[in-house]
């Protein structure tokens, strides 16, 4: 198997002393590189991007999940971003010399191991989903950790794919593991603290509500900078690029008399998604092509 990318999301974005041991666990696997890390205090979430040969990447992900389960207690966790697990989501993405089928196999093997060895329930999503109802990530974690603790006992549609079937891990919750194509995590900060506006814009632009193709979106209130944010996953940048997304949010915000403060990448993006001049046009904060373009780091 060739290279794969793995992008685990951890429910910790405020305490470096908690995140560093998780990163060390990833780095302890020979042949695996951490090529990006991004933490957000308002979301209380960190996104880590690692690359390596398939089995090595899966081993690194397992060690990270294990360490996160020891260090993160969801019963004490607060943040803007929805979550059901200490390690909330772990997608595998095919890169050079690997295929989606191979990434699906990695996801299934990792999920079985996490359930068996760590007693953490696992749900499979996207291309690794075992039922159509779980293909879309928001549909898996839409009720959050607190409500899922009850639902997993009483609701047959919430029974995990691997691991304990009727109880979440008491502090680490559950983990969603999958395989998908490259997506871009992209946020637009409004020059306003109007959370209702951000949520209304998110609803209008997301695909499932009749908006832009491949866009998943939510509205949040964030503290740094203090503003309302439209937070998105751009799942098919070839169909709906960042400039199109920015223009639509700018139009909808403008109709309410609000301007765009800035936009930001969370993690990395492929070179084709950010042609020359685009970062300036979409007010992309702190963009550095040497550290935020996938091809530059590979």
CATH number at residue 167: 3.30.990.10
pLDDT digit string, tens, across residues 50-60? 999 999 999 99
Which residue of the set 77, 81, 108, 169 is catalytic? Answer: 81
Token pair in block for residue 165: 């079937």
The H-or-E segment that residue 51 falls in is strand 45-53
Residue 214: CATH number of its domain: 3.30.70.670
81 is catalytic: yes
Q: Of 159, 179, 199, which one is at a domain's C-terminal end?
A: 179
Q: For 79-102, what is the mean pLDDT?
A: 96
Q: Is the pLDDT of residue 46 over 90?
A: yes
pLDDT at 172: 98
**Residues 155 and 12 both lie in one domain:** yes
Q: How many C-alpha atoms does 83 have within 13 Å on its Cβ side?
A: 30
Q: What is the CA radius of gyration of the chain?
A: 18
Reading the block at residue 32, the tokens are 């695996």
pTM of the full predicted structure? 0.93
Mean pLDDT value across the chain: 97
64/49 Cα distance (integer angstroms): 12
Return the pLDDT at 212: 98
pLDDT tier at 81, thresholds 50, 70, 90: very high
Q: Which residues have CB under 8 Å from 288's CB, separation 6+?
A: none
Whole-angstrom distance, CA of residue 66 vs CA of residue 58: 12
CA distances 249 to 42, 257, 283, Å, are 21, 12, 13
* The two structure tokens encoding residue 183: 């997506």
Tokens 């398939």 correspond to 54
Percentage of the chain modeled with pLDDT above 70:
100
User: Could you tell me if 145 and 12 lie in one domain?
Assistant: yes
92 lies in which domain range? Answer: 3-179
pLDDT at 96 over 90: no
Percent of the chain with pLDDT over 90: 98
Measured CA distances, 59 to 24, 69, 70, 125, 256 (Å): 13, 15, 17, 19, 49
Give 280's strand partners.
none
Domains in the chain, number: 2
Determine the average pLDDT of the residues in 103-109.
98
Strand partners, 9: 47, 89
Q: What are phi and psi of 214, to 5 degrees?
A: 75, 10
Q: Is residue 223 classed exposed, middle or buried when 0-12, 13-18 and 19+ CB atoms within 10 A define those classes? A: exposed
Final residue in a domain of this structure, among 179, 211, 244: 179
Question: Same structural domain for residues 138 and 267?
Answer: no
Indicate whether 85 and 175 sit together in one domain: yes
Q: Would you state the structure tokens that stand for residue 259, as one six-digit string?
A: 């301007």
Residue that terminates a domain, selected from 179, 199, 224: 179
Residue 212 shares a structural domain with residue 266: yes
Residue 88's SS3 state is strand
Q: How far apart are CA 158 and CA 96, in angstroms?
A: 35
pLDDT at residue 228, rounded to an integer? 98
Residues 244 and 174 in one domain: no
In this prediction, residue 298 carries a pLDDT of 84
Whole-angstrom Cα distance, residue 284 to residue 124?
Answer: 33
Of 154, 151, 245, residue with least CA distance to 207 = 245
| pLDDT for 1 | 78
Are 34 and 158 part of one and the same domain? Answer: yes
**Same structural domain, 107 and 195:** no
The per-residue pLDDT for 224 is 87
């Amino acid at each position: 198997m060739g290279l794969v990318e793995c992008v685990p999301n951890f429910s910790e974005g405020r305490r470096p002393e908690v995140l560093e041991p998780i990163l060390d666990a990833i780095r302890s696997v020979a042949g695996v590189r951490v090529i990006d890390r991004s933490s957000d205090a308002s979301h209380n979430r960190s996104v880590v991007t690692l690359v390596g040969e398939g089995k090595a990447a899966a081993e690194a992900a397992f060690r990270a999940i294990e360490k996160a389960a020891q260090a993160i207690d969801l019963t004490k966790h607060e943040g803007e971003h929805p979550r059901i697990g200490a390690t909330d989501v772990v997608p595998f993405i095919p890169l050079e010399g690997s295929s989606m089928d191979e990434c699906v196999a990695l996801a299934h093997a990792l999920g079985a191991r996490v359930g068996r060895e760590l007693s953490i329930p696992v749900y499979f999503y996207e291309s690794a989903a075992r039922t159509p109802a779980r293909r879309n990530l928001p549909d898996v974690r839409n009720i959050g950790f607190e409500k899922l603790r009850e639902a997993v006992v009483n609701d047959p549609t919430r029974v995990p794919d691997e691991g304990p079937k009727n109880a979440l891990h008491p502090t680490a919750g559950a983990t969603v593991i999958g395989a998908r194509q490259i997506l871009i995590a992209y946020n637009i900060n409004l020059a306003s603290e109007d959370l209702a506006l951000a949520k209304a814009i998110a609803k209008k632009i997301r695909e499932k509500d009749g908006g832009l193709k491949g866009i998943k979106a939510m509205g949040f209130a964030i503290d740094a900078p203090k503003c309302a944010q439209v937070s998105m996953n751009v799942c098919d940048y070839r169909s709906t690029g960042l400039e199109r997304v920015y223009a639509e949010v700018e139009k909808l915000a403008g109709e309410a008399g609000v301007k765009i403060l800035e936009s930001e990448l969370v993690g990395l993006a492929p070179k084709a998604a950010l042609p020359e001049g685009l970062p300036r046009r979409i007010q992309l904060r702190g963009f550095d092509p040497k550290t935020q373009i996938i091809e530059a780091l590979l």
